[in-house]
Amino acid sequence: MIFKSFKLDELKNSNAIFYLFYGENEGQKDDAISGSFLDNFKGEVIKYDEKQILDDKNTFFETCLNESLFEEKKIIIVSRVTSKLFEVIEDLIDKNINNKKIIFNSGVLDKKSKIRNLFEKDKNLICVAFYQENDYSLFKIANDFFKKNNIAISPENINLIVGQCDGDRKNLKNEMDKILNYSFNKNKITQEEILKLINLYENENYFELIDNCLSKNHEKVCKILNNKSFNKNDSIILIRSFLSRLKRLIDLKKLQSKNGNIGETINTFRPPIFWKDKEIVQKQMEIWSSQKIYKLLDEVTMLEVSFKKNYDLSNNIIFDFILSTSNRTNN
């Protein structure tokens, strides 16, 4: 049975035994498991990895099936679940299991996934998708966190932090914890300190390159590529930076379609756009139509596929793409 992630609070009252949590948002999954299952739970929590089960299925089945008169309730959490575990899961759900809740945690599962289809179609099983969150929802989480901990931080600086999190609240939590630990006995934190804590000094090279590419500043793009030092591992980070900027542009275009004014769109956008980036963002919005942004998004996504086939040439591939994109004239 499909269970929507915005109804997670209702899981506390669920009588289901088996749950499938899938998707890339590990932070939201962690929060759901804690909030709906582990908080105030007095029984035993047992954790498995898929490989452990595949190496020793009998022990796993014994853990799930064995029960005694005095046995306490158990929550069993299985991580990194893939299609390799399908037959084990299929066999397990046919068994008579009491006093246990079993949570299978998987990454991205497409619509053809046997495990996903099994959980979606059976009304006795719970299936929840955890997709990447938008920057607005992460901004709200961060803003509430800093208020609760009495840390004075501007919306622009929260935006910097959120921009590093790739739509995953687990990444956000890691960054917030860094800042919380650093700001012990301090009630205010500067942008300089934030940039160092979240390693944005290094990442600014990536965003500067992508921003100038999207604003068609070909000369500046060439200058950055000539003057900055990039290594082979940077290609993936550049792809992530590109995708992040394109997704922001898509959200900006959607907002602009409602109010019609670019300047107002940028000023009211949430999370807020850093003041020094507003001019270049406006130029990007003027250059790129929504249709062209989606087309470019597909092209960037395909680049990552080509990296896997030609990893040694990945930097050349992304640099050539950035150079050609910054010099396009048919938009």
Could you report the per-residue pLDDT of 110-120, keeping only the tens digit for each?
899 999 999 99
- The answer to whether residues 270 and 284 belong to one domain is yes
Give the rounded percent of residues in the chain with a pLDDT score beyond 90.
43
pLDDT tens digit sequence for 161-176? 887 777 778 888 888 8
Question: Tokens 């299991």 appear where?
Answer: 97
Say if residues 53 and 15 touch (Cβ distance below 8 Å). no
- The answer to whether residues 192 and 204 belong to one domain is no
Q: How many domains does the chain have?
A: 3
- The answer to whether residues 319 and 230 belong to one domain is yes
123 residue type, one letter = K
| pLDDT at residue number 193 | 79
pLDDT tens digit sequence for 295-307? 999 999 888 778 7
- The answer to whether residues 145 and 123 belong to one domain is no
pLDDT tens digit sequence for 57-115? 999 999 999 876 566 789 999 999 999 999 999 999 999 888 899 999 998 898 999 99
Domain residue limits at 155: 135-197
Residue 12 has pLDDT above 80, yes or no: yes
Q: Among 129, 164, 181, which residue terminates a domain? A: 129
Q: For the residues 199-228, what does the mean pLDDT come to? A: 81
Alpha carbon distance 76, 74 (integer Å):
6
- The answer to whether residues 209 and 319 belong to one domain is yes
Report if pTM > 0.85.
Answer: no
Residue at 331 is within a domain = no
- The answer to whether residues 107 and 205 belong to one domain is no
- Closest by CA position to 23, among listed 37, 45, 4, 10: 4
- The answer to whether residues 10 and 98 belong to one domain is yes
Q: Among 150, 182, 197, which residue terminates a domain? A: 197
Residue 313 sits in a domain whose CATH number is 1.20.272.10
Residue at 290 is within a domain = yes
